Structure 1
Amino acid sequence: MSVPAPDPRAVRAMSIEQLQRLGLPLPPAEFPLVWEPGDEVELRPTGEIEARTAVLQLIMARCFGMIPETAMSWLTASRLTEMVTPPEWDFIASGKGDHRSFVLHHDAVFALCWVLGLTREFDPTVPSDQRLLAQLPNLTVGETFIDWRSRSLAAPRGPVEVAAMLDLHYCLDWGYLEAERIGAPLPGLIDANAIGQRRWALEWTVVFRGPYHDPPGGWEEVDLSI
């Protein structure tokens, strides 16, 4: 259900304040807002967010040694084959694709778990907590998606809170990339790749309604170039 989006300028001011606190370069004055005054915001359906989380967790398992047959069997048992994108399918089924880029998805999983309320921590300077693994599907014992959903009991955050976090990561993405470009020190233990993955997950999760927004696209259609 859509709700009025918060004042984008007030949210942007808080995001810039965060970047200042972290000592990151600030985006230019003309840096675009993520949404406009009067827009509405909602999150994708909880089941869809959970499915994306589970698929990314499976991809991570493939990165670290799960054999294709086991992965495919899990997808079938969990009824998630239709939730896999073509590049993901190629990687899961045959290992084709950029292994390094798929490994980076652990930060996207972290962001999705925060959205789902499975973790309280979401510090832009700190790596994901290894304890988070206990909140994800236990693929080593074959826990299916359905069983995991029953166990995890997701309690998604409100769309206004998630939209504000998206704006922060939109600005952080610029700040981290600029810091790396000019050789400035980063404020914590993660780099621009991690921030980009977290932004990717948030961009996909949040749906804005307004005259300047397209209908929500697929996972591979998220545009991080802006």
Structure 2
Amino acid sequence: MTAVPAPDPAAVREASLDEVGRLGLPVPPANFPLVWEPGDEVALRPTIEVEARIAVLHLIQARCFGMPADAAMGWLLNSRLVDSVTPPEWDFVTVGKGDHRSFVLHHDALFALTWVLGLTKQLDPSLPVDEDLVTKLPNIVGGETFDQWRSRLLAAPQHPADAAALLDLHYCLDWAYLESERAGLPLPGVIDSHAIGQRRWALEWAVVLLGPYHDPAPGWEEVDLST
């Protein structure tokens, strides 16, 4: 994991607010916190970790739409990804326990992670998930294992500074979408605050900020979206 200087947070925030306004959304207040401070560094999680998270989320999507538990478990074992599954995900994969709807929503988190690896060209807040996303993911139904998928994958991870800028935008968009829905204002596209929140979740996890005011990088289930 190679860290680079984080971009100027004030300049990034100004660009984020310009984009929020361009989309016709309410702009967060002046005291809305910055995501990082001047002098901080930024990195992306190791590519293998992001790939594993993509594969696990894709498996969960398959489980949501009818894949039997034994087939899902068999794929995890054959792909040696059991250790990459969180406890809530394990309960869902093995016995279907948990909030089915929340796992379905991970489709947008999955989409954002493919952007982090350069598999998706853009992460436009006004557009839904790319229709061809599934072609870039493991062919689980066809028996393609994690390693086989990785062997055909052409990952080209984003520059950490670009990923940090997109994280800041989604931090602002998360507030703007929730505020728009609360006030009954129109949204700029077909996706809602749930999709924006999922994309932010993925970026919060994948982008690692380093500095005196940052805690260690959180696990997938520990990502804090409360602010």
TM-score calculated relative to the size of structure 2 = 0.99
Match of 2:224 in 1: 223
Match of 1:197 in 2: 198
Match of 1:71 in 2: 72
For 1:92-129, what per-residue CA distance to the aligned partner results, in whole angstroms no more than 9, with x for missing partners?
00000000000000000000000001110311011101
**Equivalent residue letter for 1:182:** A
Q: Distance in 2 between matches of 1:120 and 1:130?
A: 13
Report percent identity of matched pairs: 69
Match of 1:167 in 2: 168
Match of 2:86 in 1: 85
- Taking only aligned residues, the RMSD between alpha carbons, in angstroms, comes to 0.5
What is the deviation of 1:140?
Answer: 1.2
Alignment of 1:88-167 (within 5 A): 88-167=89-168
Deviates more, 1:120-129 or 1:108-117: 120-129
Which runs of 5 or more residues in structure 2 are unaligned?
Answer: none
Match of 1:20 in 2: 21
What is the deviation of 1:217?
Answer: 1.3
**Secondary structure at 1:154's aligned position in 2?**
coil
Match of 2:58 in 1: 57
Deviates more, 1:121-130 or 1:173-182: 121-130
Match of 1:2 in 2: 3
Q: Distance in 2 between matches of 1:73 and 1:40?
A: 40
Q: Distance in 2 between matches of 1:122 and 1:183?
A: 24
What is the deviation of 1:151?
Answer: 0.7
**Secondary structure at 2:141's aligned position in 1?**
helix
TM-score calculated relative to the size of structure 1 = 0.99
**Equivalent residue letter for 1:138:** N
Match of 1:44 in 2: 45
**Secondary structure at 1:34's aligned position in 2?**
coil
Count how many residue pairs are aligned between Structure 1 and Structure 2.
226
**Secondary structure at 1:119's aligned position in 2?**
coil
**Equivalent residue letter for 1:215:** P
Which runs of 5 or more residues in structure 1 are unaligned?
Answer: none
What is the deviation of 1:201?
Answer: 0.1
